[in-house]
Amino acid sequence: MRLTRQALEQATAVGAVADVSPELKLAEGKFARATADMADESYKHARRRAEQAELDARLAEARVLTHKSEEQLSVLNTRITRLRKQLGEAQ
């Protein structure tokens, strides 16, 4: 459960938001059910749901990081194109 909580916190820390990220919303729901399963002493179900929630949270984190990287790549490509044009005009 601790690892799942950390994965949820990490996904949120990098910018995942449940309203935008279906994976994070799914992870939060599964974690809530896992917590309820623990209270009901259904430990096997709790562990399975917690593991699923952790994986969903990590997927949400990876998607946010991928999106941020793609945005940075786009900015860099724009700058490179601009520099190439400037170099072409200078020659």
For residue 16, the model assigns a pLDDT of 95
The Cβ-side half-sphere exposure at 13, using a 13 Å CA radius, reads 7
The CA dihedral of 24, 30, 32, 36, to the nearest 10 degrees, is: -170
Structurally, the chain folds into a number of domains equal to 1
pLDDT (tens digit, 9 = 90+) per residue, 13-42? 999 999 989 999 999 999 999 999 999 999
CATH at 49: 1.20.1270.390
Interval 69-80: pLDDT, tens: 999 999 999 999
**Domain assignment of residue 62, given as a range:** 2-90
Q: What is the pTM of this model?
A: 0.85
Q: ∠ CA(73), CA(74), CA(76), 5° rounding?
A: 65
